[in-house]
Amino acid sequence: MANPKTNSNVYDAIIVGSGAGGGMAAYVLTQAGANCLMLEAGGWFDTGTQSKWGAWNYDAPHRGTAPPDTLFNAYMGAVGGWQVSGEPYTNAPGTDFKWFRSRMLGGRTNSWGRISLRFGPYDFKPYSRDGKGFDWPISYDDLAPYYDRTEELIGVFGSIEHIENLPDGKFLPPPKPRCYELVVQKACEKLGIPCVPSRKAILTRSHNNRSHCHYVAQCGRSCPMGSNFSSPTVLLPPALATKRLEIRTNAMAREVLVGPDGLAAGVSYLDKKTRKEVQVRGKVVVLAASACETARLLLNSRSSQHPDGLGNSNGIVGRFLTDTVGTHVNGFFPVLADLPAHNCDGVGGMHLYMPWWNYGKQLRHELPFSRGYHIEFGGDRRMPAAGTFKGTEHFLEGGYGADFKSSARKLYGASVGFSCRGEMIPNEHSYCEIDKNVVDEWGIPVLKFHWKWSDDEILMAKHSQETFREIIETAGGEVTESAGPEENWGISRGGEIIHEVGAARMGSDRNTSVLNPYCQAWDCKNLFVTDGAPLVSNADKNVTLTIMALAWRTSEHIADQVKKHNI
Amino acid sequence: MSVNRSGKREGTIKRRDLLKALSVVPAALIPFGTAVAAEQQTSGSAAAAQAATAYQRKVFNGHEWETIKVLSDLIIPADERSSGASQAGVPAFIDDWLNFKGGKLKAEILGGLTWLDLECNREFGHDFAGCTLSLQKKMLDRIAYPDKAAPSDLNYVAFFSDLRDLVASGFFSSETGVKDLPYLGNRPANEWPGCPANVLAAIETNLKKHGVGLSIAPPGEPAKG
């Protein structure tokens, strides 16, 4: 039996990470004939048997409240959270970056919101438009065919709307609006804010042997029917079926190994079960460990040929990290109180949303911030949980007893919350680096984060707070929770929206980027990145769809270059 | 859809099996918007009842537990639609919640219970739980209405507001409460029909009643953005 450390097997490609980008790389590369090894830091996850789909909150501890440092609900399909036992990270003084990791097969694609919005033409050339931030080395037209293919593969619902900078896609029909969504839509109409069907990787028709949705709004738990997108549901099965994919779980990648020629030769990882190092050899290495983990791997991959970390000769790895701008307002709507009982489940998340509508104003410099945001909203006629009836005395002036009980019933479903999801301009003060004083339990140096919002982002949060108030009041409602200037308008903490990207950006100039326009490392031609790290900017569109489209394009290029014997 | 290591889609849940496992009547037979008989839902009630009797207190002592039971039922009593809060498992919920959260909330609730007994003994010569119903209500009336409370009672108004929230949350998120509201979700269905006509009409009535100046489209007409 071969010593695993010196196993002579050389894979065509080693892929680090099994999420959106890793899964897509495996899907494309195995179809192109490559023998691939995929390394996943977490354990195996089988949504068919392990999803908590259908469970009631009252059958879970604390009515399903998420334990500390995790998210949303105890049934969430995420193994991990803001803190992962044994795998710390640090923050520079004055920074409170939140880093969400999901250590499981498929990573965060199991629990994500499935919101699938294409970046638009403006989003690839923001610097050319307003002189801030950076342009991508590619345009929307370069990625459009891959958006098409990705949507057709995974199944996305939506509607054709012809909205500025919001390209329409290859859509399944969208679900009809919920009752409270119709009220919000009308208020938006009155205010000139577009409110259109959302676009989500959830099936409203059966698609590619996967069942259509059954409308219990539990996408975040992962779906045993395969009705929403996750990497293990959509990308890994066909890749495995080619017999050219081997997946190793509980494999914590430590560094990319480099040969005497300075090219990537393989990956060193820790087998979490034995705690021993294993080295695997590959002709090509694809990093898709998620943006910051990929940056961490590059920075920790030091050799004589790459003394500052692999791909980091210009010091750009870890830099220009971005996350989505978020803020939140809650409102109480008397018109939604005391309604006849009805089911508001539907798909997980909003059936309608509001895309950015102020490009014109910004072109005329009528707003004090340069980028856009979209609006998501949700009502609370949901599966009751521990916080469902908090703050009732605000509406009922107190009381107790039979009157209180019957009045409280009437409040159910009368609250709606609004969130913005906005574009952050990359800046010099937001980045990650290796913390030279701390290692995790696998002996791997950890990341240290630095973070700063600019006025652009803070004033965007202000605008969204004011807009939400307007929408709520136009619908006859009352704001019950909001944020003011003393809290920077409730702007989220860095990382909190869990769309962190950048940290190994692509570009057309090797002096100011880590990767070329094909997400190929300038310094190491057989090293590629297919997660969120290459993204030059973080538009007001959730990033997963773009990560996958870009990963498809990159993976095709890898196959093409291998065929031409260029790598 | 589950994936085994060879790529075979194994254990793929057939829709029929899933619905059978959930003891849910297939959607074709459920008219949307109707409150389906509670018995048709998968009920954890047998297990829940057993769990309730087996609950091990983590925070409250025996006397506090009894006081919480009395308070829960005063805040949410039984009515024609459902039982009172204690029968729905609210005391166990609160005890567990205070253990889970700890901190200021736990101190406030324990402190509030202590004060309630202190004040009732001073005024009426008995612990709260030992007072008559009318004296219990007299005490609660002092702290249940933030706008009317005496300034010296404000700390205890805060206690009672938080207690009321806990009872309401604990009740309406219990199996009893879910059926009481009723929450009509967690029922797999083949189609999503949108907003039922009767709810649309009720909203329209509310919009007029509150003079909001909006009108929502009738069913069948897709609302344009």
pLDDT for B122-165, tens place per residue?
Answer: 999 999 999 999 999 999 999 999 999 999 999 999 999 999 99
- Asked if B181 and A337 come within 8 Å (Cβ–Cβ), the reply is no
**Chain A residues with beta carbon closer than 8 angstroms to that of B42:** 54
Give the pLDDT confidence score for residue A2 in this predicted structure.
34
pLDDT for A7-19, tens place per residue?
Answer: 569 999 999 999 9
Q: How many CB atoms lie within 10 A of CB A248?
A: 14
Residue A182 has pLDDT above 70, yes or no: yes
Residue B33 has pLDDT above 80, yes or no: no
A160 touches chain B (CB under 8 A): no
B208 vs chain A: nearest CA distance in angstroms?
Answer: 9
Examine residue A169 and state whether it is found in any structural domain, yes or no.
no
- Nearest Cα to Cα of residue A419 among A372, A472, A374: A374
**Do residue A461 and residue A445 come from a single domain?**
no
Give the pLDDT confidence score for residue A254 in this predicted structure.
98
Give the number of beta-carbon pairs within 8 Å between A and B.
Answer: 268
Give the pLDDT confidence score for residue A395 in this predicted structure.
76
Contacts of B144 (CB under 8 A, 6+ apart): A398, A399, A400, B157, B160, B164
**Chain B residues with beta carbon closer than 8 angstroms to that of A40:** none
Residue B47 has pLDDT above 80, yes or no: no
Give the pLDDT confidence score for residue A435 in this predicted structure.
98
With b for 16 or more beta-carbon neighbours within 10 A and e for fewer, the A100-112 pattern comes to: bbbbbbbbbbbbb
A214 vs B189, B210, B214: nearest CB: B189
pLDDT for A83-120, tens place per residue?
Answer: 999 999 999 999 999 999 999 999 999 999 999 999 99
Instruction: Mutate one of A162, A388, A410, A412 to test the B interface: name it (highest B CB count within 10 A).
Output: A388
Domain ranges across chain B: 56-180, 194-225
- Asked if A177 and B93 come within 8 Å (Cβ–Cβ), the reply is no
Q: What confidence tier does A388 reach under pLDDT thresholds 50, 70, 90?
A: confident
pLDDT for A28-47, tens place per residue?
Answer: 999 999 999 999 999 999 99
**Do residue A122 and residue A222 come from a single domain?**
no
Q: What confidence tier does A397 reach under pLDDT thresholds 50, 70, 90?
A: confident
Examine residue A53 and state whether it is found in any structural domain, yes or no.
no
- Asked if B175 and A225 come within 8 Å (Cβ–Cβ), the reply is no
Q: What confidence tier does B220 reach under pLDDT thresholds 50, 70, 90?
A: low
**Do residue A388 and residue A516 come from a single domain?**
no
**Do residue A95 and residue A190 come from a single domain?**
no
Note whether A330 and A483 are within 8 A (CB): no
**Do residue A445 and residue A518 come from a single domain?**
yes
Residue A368 has pLDDT above 90, yes or no: yes
**Do residue A121 and residue A268 come from a single domain?**
yes
Examine residue A244 and state whether it is found in any structural domain, yes or no.
yes
Give the pLDDT confidence score for residue A390 in this predicted structure.
78
- Asked if B181 and A54 come within 8 Å (Cβ–Cβ), the reply is no
More confident residue, A403 or A71: A403
pLDDT for A421-434, tens place per residue?
Answer: 999 999 999 999 99
**Do residue A90 and residue A239 come from a single domain?**
yes
pLDDT for A455-480, tens place per residue?
Answer: 999 999 999 999 999 999 999 999 99
pTM of the entire predicted model: 0.92
**Do residue A524 and residue A392 come from a single domain?**
no
**Chain B residues with beta carbon closer than 8 angstroms to that of A400:** 74-76, 140, 144, 164
Instruction: Tell me the DSSP string of A191-219.
Output: HT---EE--BSB-SS-BTTBPPP--BS-G
pLDDT for A207-238, tens place per residue?
Answer: 999 999 999 999 999 999 999 999 999 999 99
Mean pLDDT of chain A: 96
Residue A386 has pLDDT above 70, yes or no: yes
A46 touches chain B (CB under 8 A): yes
The 8 Å CB, 24+ separation contacts for A510-514 are A510/A314, A511/A314, A512/A314, A512/A316, A513/A137, A513/A314, A513/A316, A514/A298, A514/A311, A514/A312, A514/A314, A514/A316, A514/A317
Examine residue A350 and state whether it is found in any structural domain, yes or no.
yes
CATH of residue A347's domain is 3.30.410
DSSP state of B190: S
Examine residue A496 and state whether it is found in any structural domain, yes or no.
no
- Asked if A63 and B93 come within 8 Å (Cβ–Cβ), the reply is yes
A340 vs B79, B93, B202: nearest CB: B202
Domain count for chain A:
2
**Do residue A540 and residue A440 come from a single domain?**
yes
A443, A468, A490 - which closes a domain: A490
- Domain of A192, in residue numbers: 175-228+325-422+454-490
**Do residue A544 and residue A399 come from a single domain?**
no
B210 vs A178, A334, A383: nearest CB: A334
Return the structure tokens found at A345. 């489940």
Contacts of B50 (CB under 8 A, 6+ apart): none
B145 vs chain A: nearest CA distance in angstroms?
Answer: 5
A335 vs B9, B172, B212: nearest CB: B212
**Do residue A306 and residue A288 come from a single domain?**
yes
B173 vs A194, A243, A388: nearest CB: A388
Instruction: Mutate one of B19, B20, B191, B214 to test the A interface: name it (highest A CB count within 10 A).
Output: B214
**Do residue A262 and residue A400 come from a single domain?**
no
Mean pLDDT of chain B: 81
Note whether A493 and A537 are within 8 A (CB): no
The residue-averaged pLDDT of A242-255 equals 98
CATH of residue A292's domain is 3.50.50.60
Q: Which helix (H) or strand (E) holds B50?
A: helix B45-54
Task: Tell me the β-bridge partners of A258.
Answer: A264
Give the pLDDT confidence score for residue B219 in this predicted structure.
54
